[in-house]
Amino acid sequence: MSERDELRLSQRIDDYLEDLFVPKDPVFAETLAEMDRNGLPGINVSANEGQLIYMLTKLSGARKVLEVGTLGAYSTIWIARALPPEGRVITLEYSPKHAEVARRNLERAGLSDLVEVRVGAGLDTLPKIAAAGEGPFDLFFIDADKTNYPGYLDWALKLSRPGSLILSDNLLRNGSVMNAGQPGSDESNDIIAGYNRQLATDPRLESIIIPLSRGHVDGLGVSIVKS
């Protein structure tokens, strides 16, 4: 099978699973449309990954969630819908424009009371969350600028408790992380490769990366904070 045929098969499998397991929901369709109308990049999680994150959030029994990287709140909606009525999400977004789009999408989804969007650089906002005593959080979703992933993980660990779940997106990058440190590998690939090694070796964590494919291969890191 050629590489092109493999990509087509990957797309067909993803479409099959989405049709089978992901409910057709106008809220998600309108969320994506609002993002497109406002020129936000199409780098949100896929519907299948959103469903996976929803399931992991439910299975964890999370009540307090911290998301790093809101974009247009597509993933935020998946997470918030998995929480109990008393649940709470704090989601951090660097871009004021993206944050405004996210707030509109959350309001349309009926989730404004559960979700607070905070604007600013993640590594500036996370220390303030810690200083305010807002932790510990039950679940973290890291999906922001890749070069700062190690810093985000450090803060997630500081704001966690034993049993907290840390989800990290974009950890395989179509296999380019396997070429880290070689000629042509960019800084973000090298950093993510190091991040993956930390997930595998940090004694505070038990981790796995779940490969995900939709025309290209990426991965969702799933880490449990050990007692």
The total domain count for the chain is: 1
* pLDDT grade for 150, boundaries at 50, 70 and 90: very high
Cβ 213 vs Cβ 13: under 8 Å: yes
> What is the arrangement of strands in the sheet containing 64-68, beginning at the earlier edge strand?
115-119, 88-93, 64-68, 139-142, 165-168, 217-225, 205-213
Q: Write the CATH number for 94.
A: 3.40.50.150
User: What's the pLDDT tens digit per position in 46-69?
Assistant: 999 999 999 999 999 999 999 999
* pLDDT at position 11: 85
* pLDDT at position 8: 82
Write out the DSSP string of the chain: --HHHHHHHHHHHHHHHHHHHSPP-HHHHHHHHHHHHTT--S-SPPHHHHHHHHHHHHHHT-SEEEEE--TTSHHHHHHHHTS-TT-EEEEEES-HHHHHHHHHHHHHTT-TTTEEEEES-HHHHHHHHHHTT----SEEEE-S-GGGHHHHHHHHHHT--TT-EEEE---SGGGGGGGTTSTT--HHHHHHHHHHHHHHH-TTEEEEEEEEESSSEEEEEEEEE--
* pLDDT grade for 213, boundaries at 50, 70 and 90: confident
* pLDDT grade for 192, boundaries at 50, 70 and 90: very high
What is the C-alpha separation between 52 and 59, in angstroms, rounded? 10
* pLDDT at position 178: 82
Domain with 108, as residue range(s), is: 3-225
* pLDDT at position 1: 72
Q: For residue 185, is pLDDT > 80?
A: no
What is the C-alpha separation between 34 and 211, in angstroms, rounded? 28
Please state whether the predicted TM-score (pTM) of the whole model is above 0.85: yes
